[in-house]
Amino acid sequence: MWILSLLLSVAYARLGVSQDTSELFSTDSSSNLCAIALEESQGIVDLVEVALDETLSQDFRSNDKYPRVLCMVNTVSTRHNTKAQAIAETWGQRCTKLVFFSNTSDTIVVAAGSKAEYRFDVISVDVPAGKDHTWQIQKARLEYVYTHFRNDFDWFYKADDDAYVIMENLHNYLKRPEILDKTLQEPMQLGHRFSLPDEFLPFYIKNDTLASLWLSTWDHLIYSSGGPGYAINALYLDQLVKSMIKPTCLPDSNVPIDLAIAFCMTWNGVSPWNTRDHDGHDRWHAVSPGDDFITPVYWFQMYRQHVGGVHAMLERPAPDSVAFHYISPELMHHIDRSLYRCRENSQDITSFGLDGQVMIS
């Protein structure tokens, strides 16, 4: 049934059939809001289950039980009122603590002036801004997290501002025996794995000697996609921050953040974990729900060659999926409604407030 639903939604989209949601959003009717199906996503979202997690109390930020998760979201000033705001209004509230990193300092406010008002810091670090300095900026942000938050959290979740994270499922995964047994023993990174094709390595690693040494030492550069985000434990943060000044961590280079981190940590003998479930289904998704199980584009298949390949169309997401990427603010609210307010025994839709647009936890 879910396959038929997904195929129909894709067919309608390709025929140019769309649904005008403006009228539905103008009312707080539960039936109207829950009937919205955005961006071909519903067939996949309906397959995801939200784990019951007693550590996520009503006031998520007062939680002091394992796992304490700091969510650190990268954004820019032009998206504070859109993408960053949507995260603050939805899944970000379920982090033990949520902070944003941006090119300018700010405060993201949810439900301003109400008893449920939340305020989230937007932190700017003092380094040159711009795409030519992304790795340098991220290093400064990691050092900030290490200095200010290292001892207060068990895990650190780095995400972009178009990620959607199901925090209960992340908590549940972090409590699995194979994770718990290693959390205090070794550096760990959990996310969606990609494998950089070897022929692309010199494009990113400009130092010929270092690139040659890499290719003679390692088989493939396996890294975690930054889009849906990834979780690192405290030991991983320790090792990464202490290693960032080494030549093998590209201290002066302009390299994509997630490749640079993987390149750096592989020299320390640390690679991303395989986070697929026992059936081979992904828990972390580098694309949106509507795109995840359509025949993937060539680059996506190429970057999955050495990490289990691609499961598409007749496959499905792991029921305990943790995160998706390329999520617009509108889709972010829709996924939140679908998971937390539109299922049997869910709370009434009016708990969203502000015409159904904002999750008030």
What is the domain count for the chain? Answer: 1
Per-residue pLDDT for 350 more than 50? no
Assigned domain for 354 exists:
no
Q: Where in the sequence is the domain holding 134, given as residue range(s)?
A: 31-342
Whole-angstrom distance, CA of residue 257 vs CA of residue 29: 43
Which candidate, 132, 171, 173, 353, places its Cα nearest to that of 278? Answer: 173
Assigned domain for 353 exists:
no
Whole-angstrom distance, CA of residue 244 vs CA of residue 128: 18
Rg (CA), the chain: 20
What CATH number is associated with residue 256?
3.90.550
Residues β-bridged to residue 232: 156, 189
The token pair at 15 is: 């025929």
pLDDT interval class at 289 (50, 70, 90):
confident
pLDDT interval class at 226 (50, 70, 90):
very high
Which pLDDT belongs to residue 323?
A: 97
Assign 233 to helix, strand or coil: strand
Assigned domain for 13 exists:
no
Assigned domain for 338 exists:
yes
The token pair at 215 is: 């290719």
- Give the residue, 228 or 55, on which the prediction is more confident: 228
Per-residue pLDDT for 196 more than 60? yes
Assigned domain for 25 exists:
no
User: Positive or negative, the Cα torsion across 52, 53, 54, 58?
Assistant: negative
Q: Give me the percent of the chain exceeding a pLDDT of 90.
A: 52
pLDDT interval class at 288 (50, 70, 90):
confident
Which pLDDT belongs to residue 301?
A: 65
Which candidate, 232, 191, 223, 193, places its Cα nearest to that of 323? Answer: 191
Whole-angstrom distance, CA of residue 61 vs CA of residue 42: 30
Which pLDDT belongs to residue 308?
A: 57
The model's pTM: 0.84
92 close to 120: Cβ distance less than 8 angstroms:
yes
Which pLDDT belongs to residue 112?
A: 92
Which pLDDT belongs to residue 200?
A: 84
Per-residue pLDDT for 351 more than 60? no
- Give the residue, 108 or 350, on which the prediction is more confident: 108
Per-residue pLDDT for 253 more than 60? yes
Task: Give mean pLDDT, residues 71-89.
Answer: 98
Assigned domain for 16 exists:
no
Whole-angstrom distance, CA of residue 290 vs CA of residue 40: 5
Task: Give mean pLDDT, residues 133-145.
Answer: 94
Per-residue pLDDT for 191 more than 50? yes
Residue type, 277: D
Which candidate, 152, 176, 173, places its Cα nearest to that of 97? Answer: 152
Assigned domain for 5 exists:
no
Assigned domain for 23 exists:
no
Task: Give mean pLDDT, residues 287-313.
Answer: 62
- Give the residue, 280 or 139, on which the prediction is more confident: 139
- Mean of pLDDT over the chain: 82
